[in-house]
Amino acid sequence: MKHTLLIATFTLPFAYSRTSGELCKGTNQRAPDGNWYCSEVWAITYRNISQSGVYNRTISVDAKTGICEHERVNYEGTGPLTPLFGEVSMHLRGPMNVSQLAVYQLPSDIHTLGKRETVPFYNRRRALNKRDFGVTHQDSSQDVQVSPLEKRTTNTTKRCGPRTVTTTVFVTECESTRPTSIANPIINTTYIGPAIPCVPTSTASSPKAYPTWAETPPVLIPSGQQLPASRPFPARHSVAANDGPNIIRRAAADWGRVAYYTSAAPAQATGFSFLANRGDPQKSGTFDYAFGNSLSYVTSDGGAVSPDSMPFDGTLDTSEREITVLSDKSCDQDCSYWRPDATSHFGWSGSSKAFLIEFQMDHYQNHGTDLGMISDAPAWWFLNADIPRILQYGNDRNNIPCSCWSTGCGEFDAFEMLGNGEERAKSTMHRQGNLQGGDSNYFKRPVGRKMKFAVVWHYPHITAMVLDDSFDFSSSLSDAQIQRLVAYDADSWVHSLFAIGD
């Protein structure tokens, strides 16, 4: 799919803004857990995340050998392969109560996602009707249905042979004598050059590593200070004459709500699927001793595997509970490779997209006795959707991370408590091998109250922000509304600007 820059008019007043470092002057503190904290803010913009780079994409997960194979992916500053501009998944960790959740995209991305097959929530009455009135006999002459993954499986006996492919990726195939599943070529991209070695991988086993970024200290926000009126970003980058009208027309389009959840009527939620790493081949997903549990559907509380897609009940009672939120569209041949037999869904793609949530994060300690597991540390974050579809946590038999995370395919921590009982939520962009970082300014954890919060991709930036209590998660948001949300006031002491790129 050809990827077009959808928003070209967002530009920050870099020279006159309150940078993260300026907000940290005089107030940085190091917590006992080693993390640095500066000032409480209401918004953080990660400036310019559009850079080219490379990471290793997984092309094979073999439970028999315990080995994962990868290919090298070269990506441009934007596009479906670019970290965080391609598909992302959403992740929630308790303790947390979610009242509302919504996803917004531009019309072109809505159209693409809308063509996929929808997996509805389980409906007991519908299931009973299907059992009572459904087909009870299948003619043996009928064709047996084959899953998209099986359709894309090919046998190979190549041993470390380089090959030229048909997208902007370079591949070195390592030894393989078993079937492997490889994604179909991407349209409107070009393969060039000989194959080159894969990117060296780190032995880190988990996509939850937290570098600390101690800035020079900030001025504390006076109690009760109101958020200053923000000004639109002045236009600074010109648009090429041949592309300008199309880009501006797309930029002016409404952002449509493609998914919505409310705890008041969870079974009526649309556009979402709720999963976790609890795969059971007897129900949904899979399990093996090499890689453990894959993604699967889960019960409404996220605590057990379910054979069907179930609506979320809105509560993750402790940090022992994590769920993965994806679209309700099941993967087909347009998904890149996913772990065989795992429950796999599409995420949300595009350089312009918005995620809104209303949540409450009261204090609760874990119930279990695993002292190595973080407790009372809720979080909301985003991953390259390939990561959970492959293996969110863990390495292969050679202690090589199985997913693309360790080589920099992308993670954005939007609102995360890093320590037990912490009430300061940090944000960080992980993209190993490329520009990355995290702001030491923080958001206040909503304890005993609800908070509305948003993460908006507005090319080439990402802004995370606290919303007004009256903000409506309506069926669409105008481009003017989006621009007002992410607008930056150069004199604001509650909106931090953290530079990733120039």
The string of pLDDT tens digits covering residues 381-396 is 999 999 999 999 999 9
What's the domain count of the chain?
Answer: 1
Please name the residue ranges forming H helices in 294-333.
none
Instruction: Using the predicted structure, report yes or no on whether residue 172 has a pLDDT greater than 50.
Output: no
pLDDT on residue 216: 32
CA–CA distance, 81 with 169 (Å, rounded to integer): 9
Residue 187's Cβ-side half-sphere holds a number of Cα atoms within 13 Å equal to 5
Instruction: Using the predicted structure, report yes or no on whether residue 13 has a pLDDT greater than 70.
Output: no
Residue 158 lies in a domain: no
- Express as a percent the part of the chain with pLDDT over 70: 71
Residue 189 lies in a domain: no
Q: Measuring CA to CA, how many Å separate 103 from each of 42, 144, 400, 477?
A: 21, 36, 34, 11
CA–CA distance, 89 with 99 (Å, rounded to integer): 19
Contacts of 463 (CB under 8 A, 6+ apart): 43, 44, 45, 46, 454, 455, 456, 485, 486
Residue 480 lies in a domain: yes
pLDDT on residue 123: 63
Per-residue pLDDT tens over the stretch 350-369 = 999 999 999 999 999 999 98
Residue 107 lies in a domain: yes
Selected residue with higher pLDDT from 187 and 134:
134
Instruction: Using the predicted structure, report yes or no on whether residue 265 has a pLDDT greater than 50.
Output: yes
Selected residue with higher pLDDT from 212 and 30:
30
> Which domain covers residue 233, as residue numbers?
14-51+82-130+206-499
Residue 169 lies in a domain: no
Residue 215 lies in a domain: yes
Per-residue pLDDT tens over the stretch 295-333 = 999 999 999 999 999 999 999 999 999 999 999 999 998
408 backbone φψ class: left, alpha, beta (φ>0; ψ -120 to 50): left
Asked if residues 307 and 159 have their Cβ atoms less than 8 Å apart, the reply is no
- Express as a percent the part of the chain with pLDDT over 90: 60
172: part of which helix (H) or strand (E)?
Answer: strand 169-172
Per-residue pLDDT tens over the stretch 222-258 = 333 343 444 433 333 332 333 333 434 445 589 999 9
Instruction: Using the predicted structure, report yes or no on whether residue 192 has a pLDDT greater than 60.
Output: no
Instruction: Using the predicted structure, report yes or no on whether residue 32 has a pLDDT greater than 90.
Output: no
Burial class of residue 314 in the structure, from the number of CB atoms within 10 Å of its CB (0-12 exposed, 13-18 middle, 19+ buried): buried
In degrees rounded to 5, what are phi and psi of residue 373? Answer: -95, 135
pLDDT on residue 217: 33
Asked if residues 293 and 277 have their Cβ atoms less than 8 Å apart, the reply is yes
Q: Which amino acid is at 118?
A: T
Average pLDDT for the chain: 78
Give the residue-averaged pLDDT of 442-458. Answer: 98
Give the residue-averaged pLDDT of 265-276. Answer: 94
